[in-house]
């Protein structure tokens, strides 16, 4: 079986702050069926090594950017874990990136993760495991392909996956030496970005292939409005760039077995009405006559939450209800509080995040709103499809790739699974919600829409096959060039 080293700053079920962790946690199991054994290298944040039972030392550093470090092997939930035990970098309270703001030495912390990955790829582990492919995720692992090149390693291929190009791993140029990078790397065709180091740019330049998490987002990243200053780099790598849509865990997100809700399936939606009634009660939504829309999101402008705050009154006046779960920008949080205060019995709000509640919301909602201004892939709309909670999405990134708009031709063909809107502004969302209200009144048509969504292939099978094919292509190219 061929081998791949996945390098990531988070991984479900060990540590999670966002969708990156879900992808990193799902890939190993799905790739095994494709003939690729994946080991996942991530920092040994407090508790991570213990949770993974990682005790065997398989690599060691006398000095890894300021202190001794070890790589500990273990496993958790079918994931072959390599925990980078570097107490001077990762043994600290708070989230993986800061508490409550970013740690000032984050560039060094994640340069160390990347450096360790490249050393493993160059030398192999003490248990005689050495990867054929190094797969780096986001800016935190962006330097791994660069260190691989600097080490002179030519028989290990590399892949760089961009989960969100908005986060670019910027650091002052003065940190080059601290990050074990020679001055010769600080040029515009390598890792220099407007006078700073960009670890993401480094990976984009040096990796053998670049992927992102949806085909549409891959195309968007070569445009100025989405590329965040790196559109030229992405365009230069167009021949090596592919978009592979994320999947979801079909066992964790399964309305037929979800312990948080009354069970139902695409063949019988009866239990969904029971869940809706419970959710209406939980959020105190006693005055709605139309569709119950849910929002499970970070409350930020990027997620389009200000568009909801500005247009929800029209939806509510037409009989709709709104249940909101999330936290984020204090200004948008306040906008949601005002919306709920002004619409008692029609708008309910929970500030924060509650995993169990999110399952109940997908189980009981009629509609899930995902009006993001940009969205590399998005998982929320996939959960909505899985639970028959019809997605309303902005036509961007992975949202556009995964939801088939309920337009006249899609209706005629019987293939629509949700609603898209564009332009991504207040009018676009408002007009789309009018379509939702109108369609909801057609109960049999609405049921058909729900069931089509629930029958979509939303798991990792197709995505893992695409990753495996990319790995095969890269390793074949390496063999043919030696």
The edge-to-edge listing of strands for the beta sheet with 56-61 is 56-61, 69-76, 79-85, 36-43, 2-7, 133-137, 157-162, 209-212, 241-243
Residue whose entry in the numeric block shows the structure tokens 């700073």: 196
**25 close to 13: Cβ distance less than 8 angstroms:** yes
What phi and psi values does residue 367 have, to the nearest 5 degrees?
Answer: -140, 145
The DSSP H or E segment spanning 420 is strand 419-421
In a domain, 264, yes or no: no
In a domain, 276, yes or no: yes
Which pLDDT value is given to residue 95? 92
Which pLDDT value is given to residue 302? 95
In a domain, 37, yes or no: yes
Residue 446 half-sphere exposure, CB side, CA atoms within 13 Å? 17
Go through the chain and tell me how many residues it has.
482
The DSSP H or E segment spanning 41 is strand 36-43
Which pLDDT value is given to residue 470? 98
Which pLDDT value is given to residue 268? 94
d(C-alpha 90, C-alpha 84), whole Å: 9
Residue 468 and residue 405 share a domain: no
Residue 147 half-sphere exposure, CB side, CA atoms within 13 Å? 25
Cα 165–chain centre separation = 12
Residue 374 and residue 318 share a domain: yes
Residue 465 and residue 414 share a domain: no
Residue 89 and residue 170 share a domain: yes
CATH number of the domain within which 399 lies:
3.40.50.2000
d(C-alpha 47, C-alpha 83), whole Å: 11
Domain count, the chain: 2
Burial class (CB in 10 A: 0-12, 13-18, 19+), 408: exposed
User: Read out DSSP for 151-167?
Assistant: TT--SSEEEEEES-TT-
Residue 185 and residue 101 share a domain: yes
Residue 471 and residue 435 share a domain: no
Residue 210 and residue 290 share a domain: no
In a domain, 259, yes or no: no
**Per-residue pLDDT tens listing for the chain (482 residues):** 999 999 999 999 999 988 899 999 999 999 999 999 999 999 999 999 999 999 999 999 999 999 999 999 999 999 999 999 999 999 999 999 998 889 999 999 999 999 999 999 999 999 999 999 999 999 999 999 999 999 999 999 999 999 999 999 999 999 999 999 999 999 999 999 999 999 999 999 999 999 999 999 999 999 999 999 999 999 999 999 999 999 999 999 999 999 999 999 999 999 999 999 999 999 999 999 999 999 999 999 999 999 999 999 999 999 999 999 999 999 999 999 999 999 999 999 999 989 999 999 999 999 999 999 999 999 999 999 999 999 999 999 999 999 999 999 999 999 999 999 999 999 999 999 999 999 999 999 999 999 999 999 999 999 999 999 999 999 999 877 76
Residue 370 and residue 329 share a domain: yes
Which pLDDT value is given to residue 73? 98
Residue 234 and residue 91 share a domain: yes
Is the peptide bond prior to 258 cis by the omega test (within 30 degrees of 0)? no
Domain of residue 53 covers: 2-247+461-481
Residue 305 and residue 450 share a domain: yes
**375 close to 403: Cβ distance less than 8 angstroms:** no
Residue whose entry in the numeric block shows the structure tokens 């979800």: 258
In a domain, 89, yes or no: yes
Q: What angle do CA 158, 52, 162 make, to 5 degrees?
A: 30
In a domain, 253, yes or no: no
d(C-alpha 22, C-alpha 409), whole Å: 34
**220 close to 396: Cβ distance less than 8 angstroms:** yes
In a domain, 71, yes or no: yes
Q: Global pTM?
A: 0.94
d(C-alpha 195, C-alpha 197), whole Å: 7
Residue 333 and residue 431 share a domain: yes
In a domain, 256, yes or no: no
Residue 191 and residue 214 share a domain: yes
């Amino acid at each position: 079986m061929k081998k791949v080293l996945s390098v990531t700053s988070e991984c479900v079920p060990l540590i999670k702050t966002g969708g990156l962790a879900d992808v990193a946690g799902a890939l190993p199991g799905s790739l095994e069926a494709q003939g690729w054994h994946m080991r996942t290298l991530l920092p040994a944040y407090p508790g991570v090594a213990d949770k993974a039972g990682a005790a065997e030392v398989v690599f060691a550093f006398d000095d890894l950017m300021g202190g001794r470090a070890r790589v500990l092997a273990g496993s958790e939930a079918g994931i072959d874990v390599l925990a980078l035990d570097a107490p001077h970098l990762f043994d600290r309270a708070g989230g993986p990136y800061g508490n409550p703001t970013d740690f000032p030495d984050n560039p060094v912390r994640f340069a160390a993760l990347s450096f360790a990955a490249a050393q493993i790829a160059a030398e192999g582990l003490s248990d005689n495991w050495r990867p054929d492919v190094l797969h780096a995720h986001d800016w935190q692992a962006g330097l791994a392909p660069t260190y691989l090149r600097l080490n002179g390693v030519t028989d290990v291929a590399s892949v760089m996956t961009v989960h969100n190009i908005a986060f670019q791993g910027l650091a002052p140029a003065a940190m080059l030496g601290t990050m074990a990078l020679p001055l010769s790397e600080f040029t515009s065709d390598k890792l220099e970005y407007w006078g700073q180091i960009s670890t993401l740019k480094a990976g984009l330049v040096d990796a053998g292939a670049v992927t992102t998490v949806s085909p549409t987002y891959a195309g968007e990243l070569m445009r100025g409005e989405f590329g965040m200053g790196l559109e030229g780099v992405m365009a230069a790598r167009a021949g090596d760039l592919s978009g592979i849509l994320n999947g979801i865990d079909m066992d964790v997100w399964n309305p037929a077995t979800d312990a948080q809700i009354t069970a139902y399936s695409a063949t019988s939606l009866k239990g969904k009405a029971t869940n809706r009634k419970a959710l209406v009660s939980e959020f105190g939504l006693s005055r709605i006559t139309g569709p119950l829309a849910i929002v499970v999101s970070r409350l930020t402008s990027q997620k389009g939450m200000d568009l909801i705050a500005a247009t929800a009154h029209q939806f509510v006046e037409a009989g709709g209800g709104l249940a909101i779960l999330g936290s984020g920008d204090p200004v948008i949080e306040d906008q949601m509080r005002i919306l709920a205060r002004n619409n008692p019995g029609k708008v309910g709000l929970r500030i924060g995040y509650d995993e169990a509640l999110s399952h109940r919301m997908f189980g009981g909602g009629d509609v899930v709103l995902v009006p993001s201004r940009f969205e590399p892939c998005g998982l929320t709309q996939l959960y909505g499809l899985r639970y028959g909670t019809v997605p309303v999405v902005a036509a961007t990134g992975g949202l556009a790739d995964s939801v088939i708009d309920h337009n006249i031709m899609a209706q005629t063909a019987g293939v629509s699974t949700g609603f898209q809107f564009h332009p991504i502004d207040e009018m676009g969302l408002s007009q789309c919600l009018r379509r939702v209200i109108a369609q909801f009144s057609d109960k049999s048509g609405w049921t058909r829409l729900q069931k089509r969504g629930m029958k979509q292939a939303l798991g990792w099978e197709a995505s893992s096959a695409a990753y495996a094919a990319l790995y095969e292509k890269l390793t074949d190219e390496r063999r043919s060039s030696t």
